[in-house]
Amino acid sequence: MGKVESFQQFLATQSVEVEILGFILSLLLATILASILAFIYVRYGSSMSNRRMFARNFVLISMTTMVIITVVKSSLALSLGLVGALSIVRFRAAIKEPEELSYLFLAIAIGLGCGAGQWKITVAGFALVAAMILIIRRSSRKSENKNLHITVSGEGSDRPEVSRIVDVLKRHCRAVELKRMDEGSDHSEAAFLIDVDSFEQLEHARSELLRLDRSVHVTFVDNRGLA
């Protein structure tokens, strides 16, 4: 029993009081860095999903991670308890593209660094990663000229062919780029990156696509906004 009591006493004496001022500063830093990350993702990301909606989670994830790490690092007993809690709690998110997972890990890294009190390393690391993102995106200017994602899907044996869809888009868009094509026995879906100058062009393209077949469904997702 002596070893058990000693271990319990060791755990009890490992608690460290968290400074409120340092906690608030870390929380503010995590919020600022996560907000910058959300702006970078919306502005320079290439995900086909709604990036603005997805980016809203970054601040909450970073702040939550920061609070957890701050509380856990103050006590070895809480650290061991966290391991047990994670073994029964599962977090599942619908990650459709690897880019989304990369930004989620970066948001978590911000929370980890701020929670551990490593402000300089966190800021420096985030600055380097952000710079790399900007450099990579600037080096691939080809897709930056496109401002809308469009998904055209159809069902049945009489669904329109991709060539007909491309012809319609080329008549109303300055640029058309095929990003993804999924086709089955009774269903097809094509995703394009297009560039349009006005809502009138967009409406003309949508109307003509819907006239191709009664089963056609058209979805537009903003990439960087209409001019």
Q: Which tops the pLDDT comparison, 32 or 47? A: 32
Residues 152 and 133 in one domain: no
Polymer length in residues for the chain: 227
* 59, 159: one domain: no
Q: In terms of residue numbers, what domain contains 35?
A: 2-139
Pair (135, 150) in one structural domain: no
Same domain for 182 and 133? no
The verdict on residue 25 lying in a domain is yes
Does position 139 have pLDDT exceeding 50, yes or no? yes
Does 21 share its domain with 132? yes
What would the mean pLDDT of 29-35 be, rounded to a whole number? 94
Residue 227 belongs to some domain of the structure: no
pLDDT surpasses 80 at 212: yes
* Local confidence band at 131 (pLDDT 50, 70, 90 cut-offs): very high
Residue 45 forms part of a structural domain: yes
Number of domains the chain is built from:
2
**Phi and psi of 179, rounded to 5°?**
-105, -35
Q: In terms of C-beta distances under 8 Å and separation of at least 24 residues, what long-range contacts does 11-19 make, across chains too?
A: 11/75, 11/76, 11/77, 11/80, 12/77, 14/75, 14/76, 14/77, 15/74, 15/75, 15/77, 16/73, 16/74, 16/75, 17/74, 18/70, 18/71, 18/74
CA–chain centroid gap for 194, Å, is 21
Q: CA torsion sign, 90 to 93 to 94 to 98? A: negative
Residues 134, 154, single domain; the answer is no
Mean pLDDT, range 57-68, rounded to an integer: 89
- Using an 8 Å Cβ cutoff, are 144 and 193 in contact? no
**pLDDT recorded at residue 81:** 55
Tell which of 124, 139, 154 closes a domain.
139
Domain containing residue 197: CATH number: 3.30.70.2690
CA distance 3 to 34: 45
Buried b vs exposed e over 66-82: b needs ≥16 C-beta within 10 Å?
A: bbebbebeebbebeeeb
Assigned domain for 113 exists: yes
Is pLDDT larger for residue 98 or for residue 121?
A: 121
Q: 121 and 158 in one domain?
A: no
Q: Higher-confidence residue: 217 or 25?
A: 25
- Token readout for 199 is 């809502």
pTM summary value: 0.57
User: CA–CA separation, 28 vs 18, rounded Å?
Assistant: 16
**Helix/strand/coil for 78:** helix
More confident residue, 9 or 196: 196
More confident residue, 20 or 81: 20
The residues pairing with 221 across neighbouring beta strands, listed in sequence order, are 149
151 domain-assigned:
yes
- Same domain as 68, residue 45: yes
Out of 139, 165, 197, pick the residue that ends a domain. 139
Per-residue confidence band for 143, with pLDDT thresholds at 50, 70 and 90: very low
Beta strands in 130-186 (DSSP E): 148-155, 175-183
107 and 169 belong to one structural domain = no
Pairing of strands 217-222, 175-183: unpaired
pLDDT at position 182 over 50: yes
Instruction: Note whether 185 and 132 are same-domain residues.
Output: no
The pLDDT of residue 84 is above 60: no
Which amino acid is located at 101 in the chain?
L
Residue 108 placed within a domain: yes
Last residue of a domain, one of 82, 110, 139: 139
